[in-house]
Structure 1
Amino acid sequence: MKIAAVGVHVLDTHVIGIDSIPAGSDGQLVEQIRFSPAGTAGGTAVVLARLGAEVASYGAVGTDPIASVLLDLLAAEGVSVAGLVRKDDHQTSSSVIPVRPNGDRPAWHCIGANGAFTLDDLPADALEGVTHLHLGGPEFLGGPAAGELLARARSLGIVTSLDVLAPGDPDMLAWIRDALPHTDYLLPNDEQVLGFTGASSLVDGARALVEAGAGCVAATAGARGAVVVTADSVVEVPAYDVPVVDTTGCGDAFSAGFLRGLALGRDLRGAAELGCATAGQVAAGLGTDAGSYSLDSVLAVVAAGVTRQLS
């Protein structure tokens, strides 16, 4: 599996042990502060590399110290960062995520250089020898440009996948709709599916997105696991029963596990099981790169089969 992860790359700063924001200029001691590479392209790239894929990242960062940290963290995971262009007039995209004891994670986010990335920033040879193209954050390119990139990949026999960063909204679906007919696998969360479509159930919403052009919709649903919908099938897979520390990056981890599972020849259910198990490994730590999980350790979780009950 040789994959180009194109689009949103972010440096996350996790702060764990937050009960409330201190009043005025008061301070507060916390348990831990940690950096991690993130984003619908960057976070997925890290997890795919952990699972044994050959990964190259493409997107935009600034020329600031945040970029240096992000690039170092990606490279340390084995992700090729040569395709991340530097933008002098934009800061590197970054988030600060205070994690509450119950796992809730409000966030402050700066779009930064992600908003300045265009198809002109992609090297001409970016898709050479690639088996998969994962586009994270198509809304920053816009539907026509995202569709152009995905169509080009498909013409080369490359498997395409798409993950939207923005919350679910019908206007956002209209903005990216041109990309859907060129998308083999759409990887949203349940809130996005329901928000995009106005459907009353996750399955109905996923079906509507398939009707809009996506080949397959694999939607995460938090502690309820995931639902995978095609034109003629519905597969529901429960989440794995793990201690949850922080759910940041779990959606990116599911995407990585699901795509890696497909590349390994697993069917839709088997790929979704690998996706849910991978998301569980990420939920047990801070960030997509927390801990030391690997393909073998995630497959062992799947084999053990300790899942939550679907509800």
Structure 2
Amino acid sequence: MPDVVGIGALNMDRVYLVERIGAAGEEIKIDSVSEESGGSAANTIAGLAGLGVTTGFVGRVGDDPDGARIRSGMEREGVDVTGIEVAQGMTGVAIVLVDRRGERAIYLHPGVNDTFRMTHENLACAKSAKFLHLSSFASETSLAAQKEILSRSEAKISFAPGMLYSGLGTATLMEILSRAEVVFLNRDEIGILMGSDYRNGARELNLIGAAIVVVTLGGGGCYIRSGGVEISIPASAADVIDTTGAGDAFSAGFLAGLLKGEPLDRCGRIGNSVAARCVEAVGARAWTGAVAGMKIG
């Protein structure tokens, strides 16, 4: 039985390093190009596998070279891929522009992620987990499939809505938020989702039913709220190259600590440490090998 199964979009990230992200009409030289597997929940699951957690994934890729590469890559990382379906069509693609400060802009083509549905096979994979870790799809029909899977599972829920789902509002996400053991958001996302500052937003999410709310604050570290207790933890030192996937990396570290029974402040410090490894390399998944063997408990 896997400890954590992820459910979310699977993309091939094409990463372009540039001096700066241009405005409309500008022409700017690309300094370097790389590509790797991506998708928020997938990044977190790969990181958890690197940290020694038993993991699986539920999602969909296309019948193309990108899809084959994503599926085989996750399998090499130690993730159970039986819940990843191969569908006719194009695998999702994310075009990621990263400037010299490590800031980024992302353009997304969902591909077959938009056709994700609950099946007997992926439901069986999801029902085998202790924890389900969810991130966003671009399509509301795929969100509906996530909700259907959750309604048939007794697993604890970890939820990283991201910008896409945060923009849908709490009413649309209530079935997930009200059951969540932990919700991960950054400062901007919680502002969009809750319409308030992160402290008040976290309090409201607790009242909705989310047991633990974690807000990542970039260089400001993280803020955790649970049961009326508030914890602020400073960021770990890092030489920032690329912030892509930092939140996903944080989630991996935090969940690894939570699964080990660590107290919330320790979980936050582990999350910060893993996120620091992430931002010191280019790409959302480049850090996963670096955390192998990292002491959690």
Distance, in Å, in 2 between the alignment partners of 1:70 and 1:254 is 22
Q: Tell me the distance in 1 between the aligned counterparts of 2:21 and 2:163.
A: 26
CA drift of 1:152 comes to 3.3
The amino acid across from 2:180 in the alignment is T
**Counterpart amino acid of 1:57?**
F
Q: Is the 8 A contact 2:116 2:145 kept in 1?
A: no
More moved, 127-136 vs 267-276: 127-136
The corresponding residue for 1:153 is 153
Structure 1 residue 265 displacement after superposition: 1.5
Deviation at 1:17, TM superposition (A): 3.6
How far off its partner does 1:112 sit?
Answer: 1.6
| Equivalent residue, structure 2, for 1:248 | 244
Q: Determine the structure 1 residue equivalent to 2:81.
A: 81
Q: Secondary structure at the match of 1:277?
A: helix
Q: Which stretch shows the higher mean deviation, 229-238 or 265-274?
A: 229-238
The CA deviation at 1:145 is 4.9
- TM-aligned CA deviation for residue 208 of structure 1: 1.1
**The residue matched to 1:166 in structure 2 has which SS?**
helix
Alpha-carbon shift at residue 189 of structure 1 (Å): 1.5
Taking the aligned partners of 1:193 and 1:134, their CA distance within structure 2 comes to: 18
Q: State the match for 2:270 in structure 1.
A: 274
Residues 1:104 and 1:121: Cα distance change in structure 2 (over 3 Å): farther
Unaligned runs of 5+ in 2: none
Question: Cα distance, 1:185 vs. partner?
Answer: 0.8
Structure that is richer in strand per residue: 2
Tell me, in whole angstroms, the C-alpha distance in 2 between the residues paired with 1:142 and 1:289. 24
Specify the alignment match of 1:213 in structure 2: 209
Aligned AA for 1:118?
R
Of the three residues 186, 190, 198, the one matched with 1:189 is 186
| Structure 1 residues 52 and 140: alpha-carbon distance in aligned structure 2, compared to 1, 3 A threshold | farther
Q: Which residue of 1 aligns with 2:37?
A: 37
- TM-score, normalised with respect to structure 2: 0.88
* TM-score, normalised by the number of residues in structure 1: 0.85
- Matched residue type, 2:234: P
Post-superposition offset of 1:77: 1.4
Label 1:178 to 1:127 Cα distance change in 2 as closer, same or farther (>3 A).
closer
CA distance in 1, matches of 2:166, 2:122: 32
Look up the match of 2:62: 62
Q: For 2:35, what is the secondary structure of its paired residue?
A: strand
Counterpart position of 1:53:
53
Given residue 233 of structure 1, which amino acid in structure 2 is its aligned partner?
Answer: V
Q: How much does 1:22 deviate?
A: 11
* C-alpha distance after superposition, 1:268-296 (max 9, x if no partner): 11111111111110110022332532254
Q: CA RMSD in A?
A: 2.7
Matching of residues 104-253 of structure 1 within 5 Å: 104-120=103-119, 122-127=121-126, 129-137=128-136, 140=140, 145-154=145-154, 158-167=155-164, 171-199=168-196, 201-253=197-249
Q: For the Cα contact (< 8 Å) 1:117–1:140, is it kept in 2?
A: no
- Provide the secondary structure at the position in 2 that maps to 1:184: strand
Does the 8 Å CA contact 2:127/2:152 hold for their aligned counterparts? no
> Is the alpha carbon distance of 1:121 and 1:153 closer, same or farther for their aligned partners in structure 2, counting shifts above 3 Å?
closer
How far residue 55 of structure 1 moved from its aligned partner, in angstroms, is 1.3
Structure 2 Cα separation of the partners of residues 242 and 285 of structure 1:
10
Task: Name the SS of the counterpart of 2:133 in structure 1.
Answer: strand
